[in-house]
Amino acid sequence: MTSSKRPLVIGNWKMNLDFVEGLHLVQQLGVLLKNHPVEHTDVVVVPPFVDLRTVSSILDSERLAISLGAQHVNPNDNGAHTGEISTSMLKRLNVEWIIVGHSERRTHYAMTDEIVAETLRSVVRAGQHAVLCVGENSARREAGDYEEVVRAQLDSALRGLDERFHALVAVAYEPLWAIGTGVNATSTQVREMTEFVRTVMSSLSFSAPQVLYGGSVNPENAGSLVRDSDVDGFLVGGASLKAESFYAILQACDDCYAIKR
C-alpha cells in the first residue's frame, strides 16, 4: 500500500443472510471489533435491502464503528417503479454508501453504462458515497484490451460529473473473472489496474480518488494484496459473510497501514 489514505473495506453480502442472520453477523463482528478495534481502517457492511433496518439499529445501539451501505438504488426520486428503492429511502436508514454498477447488475439486470451514470449522479446528489464498480470479463482480459473496457466504464460514468461531487466517489476495480471464482487478481495485476484507474480519473479531473480491489479477496490473500499493490482497500463478497474472515481482512489492511504510515 503506497497510498497514504486510510484503507476502506466494504463487505457486500449480495443476496445472502436474512435479517436474523445479518443481525448475528453484525453482533459477532461488533464483539471482535470491541475486543480488538481496527484503528486505521474504515469499515462498511452492505446487507440486502430487507436487512438494512435491523442492521442500522444494531450499529446505532451498539455504537459500532461500521458504516452502512446498499447494493443498488434506483436513480429516480419516487414514483411508479415497482420493486425499486430510492436514495432518500436509504438515507432514512442511515445508508451512507451505495454500490453502483456491480458487474452482477450490469450482466444480469441490464444495467447499462447510461443507467450506471444516472444512478451515480443520483447517489452523490443525495450526499451519499458511490462505489463505482468497473472491470473486464475473462474474454477481454485474454484479448488484452481490458484497459479499454475499464477506461470506457470510467469515462461514461464520471465524465462531466460536477467537481463538488468528486470526493463522494470511490472506484472498485473488480475483474469479472475474479469475482466469486476463488481466483484473485495478482498483486501485480491489481497494482497495474489501480494505477490505470487513477490515471484515467486524473484525466477526468479527479484528485486522489479512493481505488479498491474486489474479486476473491480472503484472509489468506488480503495481506499480500494490500502490501504489494497500491490499493486503498477492498470490496469483499464471500469472505464478508463470516465475522472471522471479514475481520481478518480488516486487520490485514489495518496492520499494513500502521506499518507503512
Name the residues annotated as catalytic. Answer: 102, 174
Footprint (CB under 6 A) of ligand PGA, residues 209-248: 214-217, 235-239
* Radius of gyration of the chain from its Cα atoms, rounded to whole angstroms: 17
DSSP 240: G
Least spacing, CB of residue 18 vs ligand PGA, in Å: 19
Q: List, in sequence order, the alpha helices (H) in the chain.
A: 19-35, 52-61, 87-92, 103-108, 113-125, 138-143, 146-158, 187-203, 219-228, 243-260
Candidates 51, 136, 174, 254; binder of ligand PGA (CB under 6 A) is 174
Q: Does 136 bind ligand PGA (CB under 6 A)?
A: no
Q: Does 101 bind ligand PGA (CB under 6 A)?
A: no
Identity of the residue numbered 105: R
Least spacing, CB of residue 246 vs ligand PGA, in Å: 10
Least spacing, CB of residue 153 vs ligand PGA, in Å: 15
Cα 67 to Cα 167, 186, 229, 237, 260: the distances in Å are 17, 28, 25, 16, 25
Tell me how many helices (H) and strands (E) the chain has: 10, 8
How many positions of this chain bind ligand PGA (CB under 6 A)? 13
Closer of 152 and 183 to ligand PGA (Cβ) = 183
Closer of 37 and 175 to ligand PGA (Cβ) = 175
Closer of 15 and 259 to ligand PGA (Cβ) = 15
Contact, 230 vs 195, CB < 8 A?
A: yes
- Return residues touching ligand PGA (CB under 6 A): 12, 174, 179-180, 214-217, 235-239
